[in-house]
Chain A
């Protein structure tokens, strides 16, 4: 019995040794060195990734009937060996965690071999390196899953995705909200328990989540041109700045362009959660401005936003007017104690460069401001030339970032430790936005960006929907779609004007609300 047991053990060990050594071996036969990088998709060559990212699965786009992949950690302590017949490479989760932990501050080396069949020499490619940063990224990302369409919408979901794994779950699904539109989810300091989201339609309102409590609010006073639109939480958590926009769309005839989104009118408001009141953000400058895309400085002392001189009130805009609309980025000082604003000053004079700026976002450490720059207009998502630029708030130096492509880059968010940027890019197919992450060093330089990895690396090829408005969150959000459905049954709490003047209608709504295009609804208001 003992002898038999030992024999079994010996056999098992021998088999295991054979298996492992067999795996360690290079492919049999003479390996032909191609001398070039393999073509893989997504392109993860030389990217810089956080140490807590999910496996960076990819597909090998080289000819071959079988592929062998070895991934080795920086310290050579861990190795993953994989075989694939179709080129799809999926790293096992636990093994990936080990290999990436061992490579922190260094890099993972990935070697790829392809074989064409019997009698053919396997090919070897130059190694693919993935650099592992020291700094982790926030563990969750939220985004909206929606068709990048025109007026109509169908299923819309706000989804949270663990960056450390492939777990994805819905926060809000409009199929149990009477197919209302859901947009503009915004978090208070990356806190998964404190955020807001707009719902437009029969269940309309701005829904504030405070841990497990959801409050449905109506943020509209007469002085506002439209509903509360683009949000920005004050760091203190008491205030939320919103732009209030009357949004319209025009469609291009020329093949190279698609949609022009513009504001007929827009203004800026400050909502006080404690007092449930709204005040208009004003300054001493008597020039009327259209204001949009609010964003706070990390210390809460400045409100940044984009502005352009108010155009005349018409229900439409000509091509010439659209192309001459150029926004600057300004900031206004703010006293959180009194809730009052000071004077505004121009921070990015984009119009002076015959450009237009949008989405100012300041890093949590207060050092950099990243914004989108494009030729004209207010909504860069449909501008192919839109790129991300970075402004060093200490030196005042501004430059175009290295992470841009020939397609749209826009809607960016900093991670809570200022080391990562997630942004929306249309570089994969020119129409659908995908979340790309990029490492930002202390000098504001970016690493090569990479697309959010998926369990199935071919997922993006098949998807028609956009993953838009990516926002980092530091933990898992616990509210569920059913919680929102329940909250939607509650009466809305209507905000009140914070100042007497603000109860007077300031906008000629009749004139402005006229002339909607067929099929256009006020989903942005």
Chain B
């Protein structure tokens, strides 16, 4: 530490101090290292805090999203599938760590540690490469910062960070030995490294070649590189032709982060390129002699620039809409429907998925036709059912689950499992739909899968207690309700026009209010007032004691055009709605005088009504 006390080594009495020596030596070396490069540690510490804070308080939604992408199971078959391909163990490690994202604090901590580690490793690498002292602390910040920026993309998984970490670690190990023989021995482990780290081995290959050409002398600079290239070639041939059943392009690409996002790809190329040419940069900067008084200010200034850029890019990279959708998704998956509805009304999502979950939240709480227009409805009926596609598989099941079509919800969840593997939500949904349908043996399998995890075994145990007992299932608050609204009639599910299932569901099971409200919501969003109000006559028999607000609003529109009320089946229109319609009418009449402000005026006063949607959307 600059200006502090230097730790002195006293001469060692081997017999007395042998036990103490390793720890003390490490501490001494560590302190020495800090004393040499205190700024580097300060920068890294600051980076750690920045990263932790960002994910714990701002971008926690990313942790949730990634935790949901896979289910880590402690089972032989699950682990075996990762062992049979290069890079599989890296992927497995990434998934192991990702499971802790289930909670923001440990998730942010893990991410902060993993993203900071490359900097610490580079610090040790710098002891060998000896870059210019002005630049060293800043250089080791760049890969962590770039990785942090990549991490702002929700598909940037932990495995990608671990890959770069492995490259740097192996590189550090490979440059430590002074003797040639040991260096060759370490390089001879390259095939093993490729098996462990997958295609990240190719980044190491480039890095080492540059290092050898820059730092080794004489023919050694070519011999080491040649040795490595030959090993890489032999490894590729062996992996492709003998050891593994991976196609060549997978051997050369997995698990590198080829995400279909231009910005992410650019940063990936930057960080990979920076690491590969790092020895050259160190060599070049080592030729620049620092001035006595401007060295430290330069370091701090450069670091400040890097951090400032990072913060600016983090702020710019933070996508509010993405955060809202994922937060909504989280509330929906946790079954916090009322919270989800309130969240959407407070922080409106402009995304189809967000509005879809809002509608499901309202349906689950029996408020769809009361509150549909209290939230944004930008996609019409497109936010009631999602179109079939691989990208939407993990969400599309929920509308069918909500309206009581467990078979179709099962199909979506099953297809998602086939395409993407076991994920927490698809396995949960498969478990629930099989319990609802009485397929207890299959339910037991999915319960077994969840019991092989750390964070879902408790909930699995709860469902295990009721598996096989139809009485307990019928009295379960969620499953019982869903079982009660399953179709009693048999029909082929309409796939291209999922709304066509709704009348059949209602006809087949009059207790299915969820399907009825979904059908009515569909008609309202289509502005099909006539048919919407024609179904009111069925409502009293279905158990309704009052007409939901938006249906009343549709009745008033019908009345306004037809001059008579439709058959209300014994129910009545509330005086509040009638009064409000009067207000709507008079406001409309007066606001019409100012056409440029008409829509705005009506939205301010009546934006949460069907009337506004009907006339202005």
Q: Which residues of A contact B (CB under 8 A)?
A: 147, 149-154, 170, 173, 175-176, 178, 250-258, 260, 318-319, 322, 428-431, 461-464, 481-482, 485, 517-519
Contact = CB atoms under 8 A, between A and B. Distances in A.
Nearest to A322: B492
A251 B245 contact: no
Given A176-B246, A253-B504, A319-B490, 20 more contacts: A147-B414, A150-B414, A152-B419, A154-B418, A154-B421, A251-B407, A251-B408, A251-B493, A251-B495, A253-B405, A254-B487, A254-B489, A256-B437, A258-B407, A429-B445, A462-B77, A462-B448, A464-B417, A519-B415, A519-B495
Interchain residue pairs A-B with the least CB separation, the first 8: A518-B388, A429-B441, A255-B437, A250-B492, A254-B490, A253-B487, A517-B495, A251-B493
A319 B490 CA distance: 8
Interface of B: 75, 77, 241, 245-247, 387-390, 405-408, 411, 414-415, 417-419, 421, 436-439, 441-442, 444-445, 448, 486-487, 489-493, 495-496, 501, 504-505, 508
Given A254-B487, A429-B445, A518-B388, A176 B245 contact: yes
A150 B439 CA distance: 17
25 contacts: A147-B418, A150-B411, A154-B421, A170-B245, A175-B246, A175-B247, A250-B492, A252-B492, A253-B407, A253-B487, A253-B490, A255-B407, A255-B438, A255-B486, A257-B490, A319-B491, A319-B492, A429-B444, A430-B439, A430-B441, A430-B442, A462-B445, A462-B448, A464-B445, A518-B496
Contacts of A251: 407-408, 411, 492-493, 495
A130 to B, nearest CB: 25
Given A151-B415, A253-B489, A518 B387 contact: yes
A316 to B, nearest CB: 8
B439 A149 contact: no
B490 A152 contact: no
Given A251-B493, A319-B490, A517-B496, A428 B247 contact: no
A369 B421 CA distance: 41
Contact of B501 (A253, A318, A428): A253
A253 B493 contact: yes
Nearest to B390: A152
B435 to A, nearest CB: 11
A88 to B, nearest CB: 14
A175 B254 CA distance: 13
B419 A154 contact: yes
Nearest to B437: A255
Contacts of A322: 492
Nearest to A178: B247
Contact of B388 (A257, A428, A519): A519
A363 B437 CA distance: 39
Contacts of B496: 517-518
Contacts of A153: 418
A384 to B, nearest CB: 11
B155 to A, nearest CB: 19
A257 B389 CA distance: 24
A151 B412 CA distance: 10
Nearest to B483: A255
Contacts of B75: 462
A253 B448 contact: no
B464 to A, nearest CB: 14
B493 A252 contact: yes
A255 B445 contact: no
A322 B457 CA distance: 42
A462 B112 CA distance: 36
Contacts of A175: 245-247
Contacts of B493: 250-253
A222 to B, nearest CB: 29
Contacts of B501: 253
A84 to B, nearest CB: 19
Nearest to A318: B492
B510 to A, nearest CB: 16
A257 B496 CA distance: 20
A269 B491 CA distance: 34
Contacts of A428: 441
Contacts of A149: 414-415, 418
A431 B437 CA distance: 13
A152 B418 contact: yes
B518 to A, nearest CB: 15
B287 to A, nearest CB: 50
Nearest to B430: A464
Contacts of A178: 247
Contacts of A519: 388-389, 415, 495
A252 B490 CA distance: 7
B415 A254 contact: no
Contacts of A150: 411, 414-415
B432 to A, nearest CB: 13
A242 to B, nearest CB: 27
A201 to B, nearest CB: 14
Contacts of A463: 77
Nearest to A157: B245
Contacts of A318: 492
Contacts of B407: 251-255, 258
A173 B247 CA distance: 11
Contacts of A482: 241, 245
A176 B406 CA distance: 35
Contacts of A256: 437
Contacts of B421: 154
A176 B496 CA distance: 33
Contacts of B387: 518
